[in-house]
Structure 1
Amino acid sequence: MLQTDVSHATWSGKPIVLIGLMGAGKSTVGRRLAQRLHLPFVDADCEIEAAAGMTIPEIFDKFGEPHFRDGERRVLARLIDDTTPKVIATGGGAFLNDDTRALILERTLAIWLDAEPHVLAERVSRRDSRPLLRDRDPIEVLTELARVRNPVYALAPIRVESIAMPHDVTVNEILKALGL
């Protein structure tokens, strides 16, 4: 059963920021949502890689997660400072940073794509480029990440369940939540 929770949110043309755990569909759903809204799409992870001149796994390996998170914070601030309407897909940990979260909640419309750990694990198993999953059990890691991160993600004014269905179903739920 698909579930959408909306608390006092209507879309006013602000940038839309998708948040949630890895595998929730932020990039794929974001691209499709942007197409449907005739807006540009920006994947924050791609912007981070372009700014750093290396992949996210390389950043983690060479400099560690704190360095990556600092770059992520700076890139998202730049993307949000440009108030042009757009859809932005964030990395799973971006919304946990206090400054980034405050900026997202103040200047954009945050939408939490929420998915069960078993759905996420199935999706992320298609690629082995996730530093937080390296040599670890995806279900275990994603269950723990959900336990820690979901209460923070719940601060977003819109929550859309991302289930094991075509991503267009999730896009349609977002459009419905936006009143479109």
Structure 2
Amino acid sequence: MNTSSPAPRALRIVLIGYRGSGKTSVARPLAEKLGAPWFDADQELQRTAGKTIAQIFADDGEPAFRHLEEAAITRLLQHDPPLVLALGGGAVMRESTRQRLREAALVVWLKASAGRLYERITADAATQANRPPLTAHGGLAEIEQLLAQREPIYQAVSHFAVDAEDRTPSEIADAIFARLPAAAGESRQP
């Protein structure tokens, strides 16, 4: 176990979780608390690709999207700390990306129920327009199916989880900030 505890300002903090968990909304207030820049990996990917995520999926398929996503994350993790980075919901699906995260950042999982995620996703027109369905089911059934696959991965990659169910982005940022000194010295369980 690592007993030294670097100050929160020396951290790269990566926010993971399912689409609609609030990663981008939380990144801004958390970065303000840290006096750090923040980035959204999906926005960076779309900027460099010159396409929306939905267009990338339609034109090139999911494997090509995951390759572009990993490249964007790799570039963003090269920024000197402090840094707050919000990832797409499926960014942790590649082992090579998970390895990069483990080596370079403190990873925080924003956790919410399938029902809450569904409410948030359907209320956000930008999410509907820019993000493709990921299964044949769509809707709540898709969220439940993908959460069943992804939650064990989110848990394994993260240093800790924060309940994002019924909190505002600012409240979630406060909860993360309160855990940073302790979490910086924690080691991940094998």
Report the TM-score when normalising by structure 2: 0.84
Contact 2:34 2:82 in 1 (8 A): no
Give how far 1:115 is off.
Answer: 0.6
Structure 2 stretches of 5 or more lacking a match?
183-190
Gaps of 5+ in 1: 1-7
2:38 to 19, 41, 59: 41
- 1:163 Cα deviation (Å)? 1.2
In structure 2, what is the equivalent of residue 138 of structure 1?
Answer: 139
2:69 aligned with 1:72 = yes
Tell me by how many angstroms 1:110 deviates: 0.4
What do residues 108-160 of structure 1 show as CA deviations (whole Å, max 9, x unaligned)? 11001111001100000022132126884421111111100000000211111
Choose the corresponding residue for 1:31, options 17, 28, 33. 28
Q: 1:72 to 1:10 in 2, by over 3 A?
A: farther
Q: 1:147 to 1:135 in 2, by over 3 A?
A: closer
Aligned residues: 173
**Contact 1:14-1:83 at 8 Å conserved across structures:** no
Q: Deviations over 1:70-115 (max 9, x none)?
A: 0000110111123332100000111111011011011111001111
2:162 corresponds to which residue? 160
Letter in 1 for 2:133: L
> Which protein is richer in helix relative to its size?
2
Distance 2:138 2:132 in 1: 12
TM-score, length-normalised on structure 1? 0.89
SS in 1 for 2:77: helix
Residue 150 of structure 1 aligns with which residue?
151
RMSD of aligned residue pairs (Cα, Å): 2.0
Instruction: Give the match for residue 109 of structure 2.
Output: 112
For residues 79 and 157 of structure 1, the distance between their equivalents in structure 2, rounded to whole angstroms, comes to 19
Aligned identity (percent) is 34
